[in-house]
Amino acid sequence: MGAMDGTHISACPPTGEQMAYTNRYGWQSQNVLAVCDHDMRFIYVYAGWEGSAHDARVLESALAYPSDFSLPQPGK
Check if the beta carbon of residue 43 is closer than 8 Å to that of residue 59.
Answer: no
> What pLDDT does 76 receive?
67
| Residue 47, amino acid | A
> What pLDDT does 44 receive?
87
Residue 43: CA atoms inside 13 Å, Cβ hemisphere, count?
14
Sheet holding 29-36, edge to edge: 3-10, 29-36, 42-50
43 band by pLDDT with thresholds 50, 70 and 90: confident
When the pLDDT of each residue in the chain is averaged and rounded to a whole number, the result is 87
State the Cα angle at 46 between 30 and 76, rounded to 5°. Answer: 135
Percent of the chain with pLDDT over 90: 54
With the CA atoms of 41, 59, 50 and 9 taken in that order, what torsion angle do they form, in degrees rounded to the nearest 10?
A: -20
